[in-house]
C-alpha cells in the first residue's frame, strides 16, 4: 500500500466521523478506490453494500484493482447488508466488523475471500 493510499484511507475514515448517512460517505470511499488502482492490483471482485432500512445500495467492482461502478442489481461476489446505522458505525470505527457479523448487526452473503481481500486495505 502506498503512502498516498494510506492518506486517502485515513481521510475517508475522518470524513466518516462527520457523516450521518452512507450516501454522504460511500462516494468518498469509491473515489479512494478509483484513485488507487495500483495499490489494489490483483484484486478482482464485485461488491455490494445495502442498507436494509433505508434502501441505500451501492455496487462496484475491482478488476485487477481498477474501480468500476455497477448497478446495485448487478451480480456481485459479496454483499454486505444491515441497518444503515450499523454499516455507518463500521466505517466510523465505532463497531468492529467481525463483532457486527457475529452478533447479526450486519450480514455478509457471498465470498468471504472477496470481503477479506478488500478489508486488507480498509
Please give the Cα distance from 67 to 89 (Å, whole number). Answer: 24
CATH of the domain at 104: 3.30.1050.10
The residue segments making up the domain with residue 36 are 3-119
Model pTM score? 0.92
3-state secondary structure of 29: helix
DSSP E strands in the chain: the ranges are 45-51, 57-63, 66-70, 78-82, 107-110
Q: Per the structure, how many domains does the chain have?
A: 1
Q: What is the pLDDT of residue 11?
A: 94
Per-residue confidence in pLDDT tens, the chain, 122 aa = 789 999 999 999 999 999 999 999 999 999 999 999 999 999 999 999 999 999 999 999 999 999 999 998 999 999 999 999 999 999 999 999 999 999 999 999 999 899 999 888 87
Amino acid at each position: 500500500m502506498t503512502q498516498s493510499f494510506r492518506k486517502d484511507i485515513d481521510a475517508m475514515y475522518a470524513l466518516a466521523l462527520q457523516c450521518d448517512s452512507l450516501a454522504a460517505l460511500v462516494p468518498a470511499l469509491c473515489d479512494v478506490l478509483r484513485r488507487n488502482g495500483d495499490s489494489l492490483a490483483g484484486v478482482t471482485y464485485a461488491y455490494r453494500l445495502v442498507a436494509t432500512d433505508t434502501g441505500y445500495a451501492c455496487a462496484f467492482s475491482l478488476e485487477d484493482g481498477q474501480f468500476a461502478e455497477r448497478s446495485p442489481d448487478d451480480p456481485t461476489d459479496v454483499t454486505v447488508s444491515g441497518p444503515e446505522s450499523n454499516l455507518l458505525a463500521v466505517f466510523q470505527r465505532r463497531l468492529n466488523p467481525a463483532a457486527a457479523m457475529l452478533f447479526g448487526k450486519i450480514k455478509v452473503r457471498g465470498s468471504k475471500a472477496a470481503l477479506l481481500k478488500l478489508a486488507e486495505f480498509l
